[in-house]
Amino acid sequence: MPVIIFASANGIWPLTVLAVIWLCAGWLTWCGLKVLKPNEALVLTLFGKYVGTLKGDGFFFVNPFCTAFNPAAGTKLGQSGDVKPSTHLTVTANGTSTTATELVSKKISLKVMTLSNSKQKVNDVLGNPVEVAVAVMWRVKDTAKAVFEVDNFKEYLSLQCDTAVRNVVKIYPYDVTDNVDTTGDGEADDGSLRGSTELVASRIKDEIQSKVESAGLEIVDARITYLAYAPEIAAAMLQRQQAAAVVDARKLIVDGAVGMVELALERLNEKNTVVLDEERKAAMVSNLLVVLCGNHDAQPVVNSGSLY
In 3D space, the residue among 25, 70, 26 whose CA is nearest the CA of residue 44 turns out to be 70
217-to-40, 113, 139 alpha-carbon distances in Å: 15, 11, 6
Computed over every residue of the chain, the mean pLDDT equals 79
pTM of the model as a whole? 0.67
CATH class of 110-229: alpha beta
Q: How do residues 2-18 score in pLDDT, each as one tens digit?
A: 545 555 566 565 656 66
Phi, psi (degrees; rounded to nearest 5) at 122: -130, 140
Q: How do residues 182-231 score in pLDDT, each as one tens digit?
A: 887 778 788 888 888 899 999 999 999 999 999 999 999 999 999 988 88
Measured from the Cβ of residue 283, the count of other Cβ atoms closer than 10 Å reads 11
Domain residue extents for the chain: 2-75, 110-229, 235-293
In 3D space, the residue among 289, 288, 283, 287 whose CA is nearest the CA of residue 308 turns out to be 283
